[in-house]
Amino acid sequence: MQIARIKLVGRDPKKLDEIAREIIEIAKKFGVAHKGPIPLPTKILRITTLKTPCGDGTGHGNATYDKFEMRIHKRIVDVQADERTLKQILRIGIPQDIHVEIKLIS
């Protein structure tokens, strides 16, 4: 039997967990095997910039920096690839800031 590997990627871990919970509830409702959600390592994107446009800093000889960071969270859910189950999973309302990838694994 094939397995559908569903990968969820987004910035808000609460939304990812909510969607993963909905997927697992659908799998339980139809009585198919499931695993997850499996959290993957968080990717941290960092940007450091000078605060002043001239590059001199605060005027005391030392430059002042702003540091920004964005965290990308990932979850994997494996569900037995049943046609009815996958149709219900595709009907879940996914927020715009979450990316969903579904792969069929034999």
pLDDT at position 29 over 70: yes
In order of their start, the domains of the chain are 3-42+73-105 (3.30.70.600)
Contact 78, 5 (CB under 8 A): yes
Q: State pTM to two decimals.
A: 0.77
Q: What pLDDT, on the 0 to 100 scale, is given for residue 51? A: 78
- For the segment 56-71, the average pLDDT, to the nearest whole number, is 75
Q: Summarize the confidence of residues 93-104 as an average pLDDT.
A: 90
CB atoms within 10 A of CB 75: 21
Task: Give CA–CA dist 67/45, Å, rounded.
Answer: 11
**pLDDT in the model for residue 60:** 62
pLDDT band for position 56 (50/70/90)? low
Residues contacting 90, CB < 8 A, separation 6+: none
Query: Among 11, 2, 9, which residue's Cα sits nearest to residue 70?
Result: 11
8 and 77 in contact (C-beta within 8 Å)? yes
